[in-house]
């Protein structure tokens, strides 16, 4: 493994010999001196190479000058030289006077994308797009956010599970299933780990979490949909209502935002121009019917063809919450049973409503959570209502025939959270490799 100094650590080192490695960002090949800005995964530094001249003042073609003159953007090199601290240097107050420069792999001079390339073109060349410091930072933020949630889960005795992504039957809507051949039969890619999260409650795990892929055969081309996405899921036993799930959910969000602000707040301010705000708890909670009334009073009528809140309604209620509560999050609660999965528990006094919620963040839904129905006879009846065949759900329904505690949980789209956290307009930006109806590459 190449012995090298990470660029982010150079400022803390004394003047003296160092070795750095990375890709060439820019080259200024001047008559008397050459400058190379080199980037690695941690930052950028300026390399300096004074040119050698003969007695007549002509430039001598020596090394590393000849190599530098032939460098193209993106070429990976290893550089050794003398580190020098100089506050006049704009790039970090340090520079390296080159002693040697070795090309590991050269880059084709003509880059296929530029700073102003459209997002589809950038996605075609994602590995180059991710070299940009701003785009690279997104996935460092993702790592910190996930780690903070995992710390919360582990510190509170949650068990991490890894559920299968090949299923024998639907967990939600058949219309959104990807069907795949499976030996002599067929299987489906998992829309969510829902059934298996609930199995863990029957198994006596008590509290679980998973961060993993989920698949939706949804032919949507919006900026917030994907056919494959990373789902953040948690499920807990012995709850009294969906209020317990919301409390868990907001605690996890706060843990994640606190860690991101502490570790990346300054970089986010510099590269994205925003301040990360750690949300206060409890998050505002508004029943869906009341939210629709509030939105109507603001001049927008949610279409009446279904019982959900549409995207414009979500934006309007978020604007209201920001104005009234100065908060970026809101739980919309008490959704109609007509639009919720069969396994959501219904209100004890009104079977048309469920003990469920959507979490809205900066005008976009990022999660659905609920108390689950744990009574077998009710589950079977609700499955039939949804047009599902209980016989196809036997393996799932068995979880409830041998005792299961009251429980609930949520599933949350990771890329959406990051998109809204950074005030971006498209979750392709916050997905490492996006999958949509027309994209399977790279």
133-139's contacts with Cβ under 8 Å and 24+ in sequence apart are 133/39, 133/44, 133/271, 134/271, 134/272, 135/429, 136/41, 137/264, 137/267, 137/268, 137/271, 138/418, 138/422, 138/429, 138/430, 139/432
Residue bearing tokens 């499955």: 383
Residues 139-176: b if buried by 16+ CB within 10 A, e if exposed:
eebbebbbebbbebbeeeebeebebebebebbbbeeee
Q: How many Å apart are CA 65 and CA 143, to the nearest integer? A: 39
Beta bridge partners of 331: 285, 359
d(CA 121, CA 111): 12
**In DSSP terms, which residues pair with 411 in a beta bridge?**
233, 368
For residue 192, give both structure tokens. 């969510």
- Known binding residues for ATP are 365, 413-416
Residue 238 C-beta-side C-alpha neighbours within 13 Å: 4
- Tell me which DSSP letter residue 390 carries: G
What is the distance between the alpha carbons of residues 80 and 21, in angstroms, rounded to a whole number? 9
Displacement of CA 291 from its chain's centroid (Å) = 27
DSSP 273-285: -----PPPSSPPE
Q: Is the Cβ–Cβ distance between 119 and 168 less than 8 Å?
A: no
Q: Which residues pair with 85 in a beta bridge?
A: 94
What gap in Å lies between CA 389 and CA 13, rounded to an integer? 67
Q: Assess contact for 340 and 370: CB atoms under 8 A.
A: yes
Nearest one of 370, 255, 258, 365 to 318, comparing CA atoms: 365
- Residue ranges for the known binding site are 172, 216, 365, 368, 372, 413-416
Q: What pairing do the DSSP bridges indicate for beta strands 185-189 and 179-182?
A: antiparallel
Q: Which residues are annotated as a binding site for L-aspartate?
A: 172, 216, 368, 372
Q: Which regions of 223-296 does DSSP assign to beta strands (E)? A: 228-237, 285-287
Chain center to CA of 53:
53
d(CA 249, CA 243): 10
């Amino acid at each position: 493994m190449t012995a090298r100094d990470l660029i982010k650590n150079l400022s803390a080192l004394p003047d003296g010999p160092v070795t750095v490695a990375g890709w060439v960002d820019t080259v200024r090949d001047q008559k008397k001196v050459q400058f190379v800005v080199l980037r690695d995964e941690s930052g950028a530094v300026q390399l300096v190479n004074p040119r050698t001249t003969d007695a007549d003042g002509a430039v001598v073609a020596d090394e590393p000058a000849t190599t530098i003159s032939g460098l193209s953007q993106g070429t990976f090199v290893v550089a050794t030289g003398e580190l020098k601290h100089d506050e006049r240097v704009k790039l970090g107050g340090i520079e390296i006077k080159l002693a040697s420069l070795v090309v590991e792999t050269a880059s084709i001079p003509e880059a296929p994308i530029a700073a102003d390339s459209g997002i589809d073109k950038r996605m075609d060349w994602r590995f180059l797009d991710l070299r940009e410091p701003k785009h690279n930072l997104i996935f460092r933020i993702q790592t910190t956010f996930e780690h903070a949630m995992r710390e919360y889960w582990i510190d509170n005795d949650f068990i991490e599970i890894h559920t299968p992504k090949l299923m024998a039957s639907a967990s939600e809507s058949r219309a959104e299933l990807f069907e795949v051949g499976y030996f002599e039969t067929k299987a489906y890619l998992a829309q969510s780990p829902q059934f298996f999260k609930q199995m863990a409650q029957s198994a006596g795990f008590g509290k679980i979490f998973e961060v993993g892929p989920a698949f939706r055969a949804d032919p949507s081309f919006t900026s917030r949909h994907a056919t494959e996405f990373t789902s953040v899921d948690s499920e807990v036993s012995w709850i009294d209502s969906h209020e317990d799930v919301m409390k868990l959910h907001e605690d996890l969000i706060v843990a994640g935002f606190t860690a991101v602000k502490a570790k990346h707040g300054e970089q986010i301010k510099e590269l994205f121009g925003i301040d990360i705000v750690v949300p206060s708890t409890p998050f505002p909670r508004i029943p869906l019917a009341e939210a629709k009334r509030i939105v109507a009073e603001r001049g927008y009528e949610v279409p009446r063809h279904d019982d959900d809140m549409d995207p414009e309604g979500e934006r309007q209620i978020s604007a209201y919450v920001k104005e009234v509560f100065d908060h970026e999050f809101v739980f919309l609660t008490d959704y109609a049973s007509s639009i919720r999965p069969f396994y959501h528990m219904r209100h004890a006094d009104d079977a048309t409503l469920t003990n469920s919620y959507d979490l809205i963040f900066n005008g976009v839904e990022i999660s659905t959570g609920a108390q689950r129905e744990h009574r077998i006879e009710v589950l079977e009846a609700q499955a039939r209502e949804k047009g599902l065949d209980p016989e196809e759900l036997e393996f799932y329904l068995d979880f409830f025939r041998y005792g299961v505690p009251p429980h609930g949980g949520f599933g949350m789209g990771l890329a959406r959270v990051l998109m809204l956290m950074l005030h971006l307009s498209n979750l392709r930006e916050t997905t490492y490799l996006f999958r949509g109806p027309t994209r399977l590459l790279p």
